[in-house]
Every structure is written in structure tokens, then in C-alpha cells.
Structure 1
Amino acid sequence: MTDILLLHGLTYDHRTWGPVRDALAPGHRVLAPDLPGHGSAPHWPAYPLADVIDHLHTLVETAGLVDPVVAGHSLGAVIATGYAAVHPASRVVNLDQVLTIGPFGDAVRAAEPVLRGPHWRTVWDRMLAGMGLDTLPEHARTLVDTATDPRPELLLGYWDEILQRPAADIEADNAARLTALTADGIGYHWVSGRPPSEKQIAWLRTWAPRAEVTVVAGGHFPHLADPARVAQIIAGVTPSSE
């Protein structure tokens, strides 16, 4: 059986992995922590990626996981990619996170003044409106609505790199991480909630030539739309398809 580390998305917590954990075959050792600042985890004054990764590695070592599959959703996929580039892992499963900054970075930078003011929630609500929540079954939508605690300091804290660094530098870092995974023989599987563009796939395979790409319809939450299929992908028992 497989050791598995599950990393949720920004503002959410470990509860969003409940359906996937229920769908996994018995026997896997699964660690699904709350990221710093989320759920029951302590709030930090800032959330540098390297510090978050170090914190997670301490949890992995304490739990006794060995070469885990690291699966991350959204922001969690960025962290999963960074984690596996510097710590032992067998595979990375990226759930609906494009590693190029592009228009998302532009939107975050444009929204910074609002995020620092009393109407910050309008920014988050606008982003939620584009996540395809209407495609989710009712129980999944309930989980999306309840297993979350958006706060401006949390958004600004985790998006600080986007606000402070050029997009090209961030993308170069992500490319270097993918290159390191490829060099170490660590598999990479991108599960997209929508058909990705040829340009997006080409960028990924420039740095991870053997990366697998699977579309699991479900907007930004493919693991809630089809937890059984995503559980199989994480466990490595389902072939990819494009």
C-alpha cells in the first residue's frame, strides 16, 4: 500500500479530502494536515513557501510516511510540487493548478488594494464565481461552502510571492522544481477540472516530459466532483487520459 500526503487549497481545510479518503482502498497511510493558517493549524504572521514545506516535512517525518505520493489541490498543488522537489516522494498529483502565473497573477496584483480594505470579500467571491461550483453535486457544494475560512490576511499571506516577485521568476522556480522531479524519477500527474490548452500542456511537458494529464470534469474541484476517480489516480491504479 501507499503512503499519501494530501494538501488542500487556499482558505479550505483537511475536510475537503474526506470524499477522496473515503474512496481510497483500505491500507493506505494517509496524512491530510491543515496547512498553516487553516483549520486547526496555528496562524503565522507570514506564509513563505519554504517555511510551509519545512513544516509539512516535520509532520511527514512524525507520521512516519516514506516516499509519499504528494497530492495537492490548487495552492496545495504548488506546495506539493515544491515539497517533492526537495524531500523524498514517489509521485506528485496536481489537482487543477496551472504552474504558470499568467492572468491569475495579474488579477491578484490588480486586486491588492481591495484585498487590503473593507471590501476584500468581493475579490474572493469573484474568484469563487469562476470555479464551476454549479457543476458540483449538492453534498460537494456543501463541503466547499463550509470547510473554508477566507480571511484577507490569509489570502495576502499566501499570495505575497505573487505580489512581490515578477511572474517570470515564479514560473522559472516552478520550472526548476519540475526539472528536479524529472531528474529524480518522480512522476507528475496533472488532473485538470477542464480541458487544458495545448499551450498549458506544452509548458508542463517542457519541464516534465513524462507528465501525465487527465481531465476530471468538475471545475476547480475535480476531487469533489469525482472522488472515486481521483482516489484511483492518487493511488496509481488508473491510467491517465487526455
Structure 2
Amino acid sequence: MLHHQEVGQGPVAVLLHGLTENGTAWDPVIGPLATTHRVLTLDLRGHGRSPAQPPYDMLTLAEDVHATLDAVAPQEPPLIIGHSLGAMVATVYAAMHPVRAVVNVDQSLDLASMQRTVLDMLPRLRTAEFTNALDEMFTQFEAGALSPAESARLYDLRRYDRDVVLGIWGGDLEQAAPAELTELAAGLLGAINAPYLALHGTEPGPEYRTWLAGTGPTVTVEAWLGTGHYPHLVHPQHFVNLVRRVDMEHRTATHR
């Protein structure tokens, strides 16, 4: 079972963090959201206080989440919210298990493009440049949108584990053909019956918007321009309001 923390009462909302981070990355969001939800923050395998044990493929990470939720919140399909890596895990989870809704925070599902980025980085990640490469990546992700204090907080909580990073970015993402990755992403989204909101901190572009919305009738796309990779931390209260709106829309639809 994954290390997790719980606060609040109400419908279950699960928060999944990004690569190298842990559940405390969500701290600015947790308190406000806990006034209306039972909030569970999980440390993914190899992150935070959860065990570091391969493999680190998305299916394994998603099944870790399911095993944890089955132990601590077995009676209710969750609202599952993921940022970056966590959003990919949330997507895989929702394709296999019942959820009320999914909120994907700034994780592109254009996996072919993501593959190109990862392949460019992997040579440095396998050398003494590992730490510098990740530092540069996160600096670009933040895009100056976070406050200095929030940027420093995230920097302090990140843990760079080469085996974990390479385990997550290796495997299918490294080896599969681009067309196979595109088909995989579309298949995952097509298997999700619940509302799926993709929130981006930069404009994802009309082609991607069209593709994503075309993968299924439950998928919507929203962009908060100028918030970089962390829109939920740039505007935490606005993000909490968004989550409540998504959940309320689900409950309204199911009670019609």
C-alpha cells in the first residue's frame, strides 16, 4: 500500500503528484478542498515515503493506487486528480476502474511528442548530468509563473532517484513506435466513461484540442494561460473551485 495522508470529510478526492515530487506538493490545494471533500494524497511508488521498488510502468503505478484506495476508501468511486506524471497514472487508473471524474493537470497525452522530449533527455539522465538535466526541466516547467517561495518549496521536496526516473521514462515510452503511443492514449481515453477535464497552463493548440476532444464525449479541455506547468499552485483557490465544479456536474448528471 502506498503512503497516504487523509484530511476532511465528504466525497473522496484523490491527489496524485508529479515526477520526483510527493503528496505534499499539493499542500496549497489540500486545505481548501478538504472543506468539502475527503482528500487523499498519495506518494506514488518510488516517491516520498512510498517504497522504491521496480517496475515503474504506468499500469503498476495505477494498480498501486487502486490497492491503496481499496484499503482505505473501498465504497466510493473517487474523483481522481493528477498532475503531470500523476495525471498519466490517473488516466490509466480511470480506464480500468470506476471514477466519478478525472482532472488532468498539465499532462499532455500527445505521447509521441512526449517521447521525442524524453529521448532527447535520456542520454543526459544516464550520465553525471542527471541532476542538472532535471533542474533545467523543472525551471522550464515553472516558466516564472510560481512565486519564489512556492518554487523553493517544490525544489526542496523533490527527490531525484535515477532508477525511478529512468524506470518511468523507459519501457514503452522509450521503445514504442509513435503511432502505437497515439493509439494507446486514444484507447485509454475512450475507455473512460466519466467526465475528463484536461487543464493546461499554456495553450495546447487547436490540433491537440481537437484530437483530445475527439477521443470521447466526456473529454473537455481548458487552458489557464501564463500559469506554466503548475496552474493548480499558481491559482490554488481557483483550482479548488474548478474541482468542485467538475464534481458537482458529475453528481448533477447522475441524479437526472
After TM superposition, the score normalised by the length of structure 1 is 0.91
SS at match of 1:57: helix
Give 1:168 deviation, angstroms. Answer: 2.0
The structure with higher relative contact order (CA 8 Å, sep 6+) is: 1
CA separation in 1, counterparts of 2:124 and 2:208? 30
SS at match of 1:191: strand
Report the equivalent of 1:115. 125
Describe the shift of the 1:235–1:2 C-alpha distance in structure 2 as closer, same or farther (beyond 3 A).
farther
Describe the shift of the 1:133–1:147 C-alpha distance in structure 2 as closer, same or farther (beyond 3 A).
farther
The count of residues paired between Structure 1 and Structure 2 equals 237
Report the equivalent of 1:194. 202
Q: Does 1:89 align with 2:83?
A: no
CA separation in 2, counterparts of 1:83 and 1:232? 24
State the Cα deviation string for residues 100-143 of structure 1 (Å, max 9, x = none): 12433112113322211222223212312321342112332122
State how 1:1-80 maps to structure 2 within 5 Å: 1-65=10-74, 66-80=76-90
Report the equivalent of 1:231. 240
* 163, 174, 180: which one aligns with 1:169: 180
> Over aligned residues, Cα RMSD in angstroms?
1.9
CA separation in 2, counterparts of 1:62 and 1:223? 28
Report the equivalent of 1:106. 116
CA separation in 1, counterparts of 2:248 and 2:110? 25
Q: Percent identity?
A: 31
After TM superposition, the score normalised by the length of structure 2 is 0.86
CA separation in 2, counterparts of 1:154 and 1:129? 20
State how 1:150-165 maps to structure 2 within 5 Å: 150-160=160-170, 161-165=172-176
SS at match of 2:191: helix
Contact 2:78 2:100 in 1 (8 A): yes
Give 1:144 deviation, angstroms. Answer: 1.6
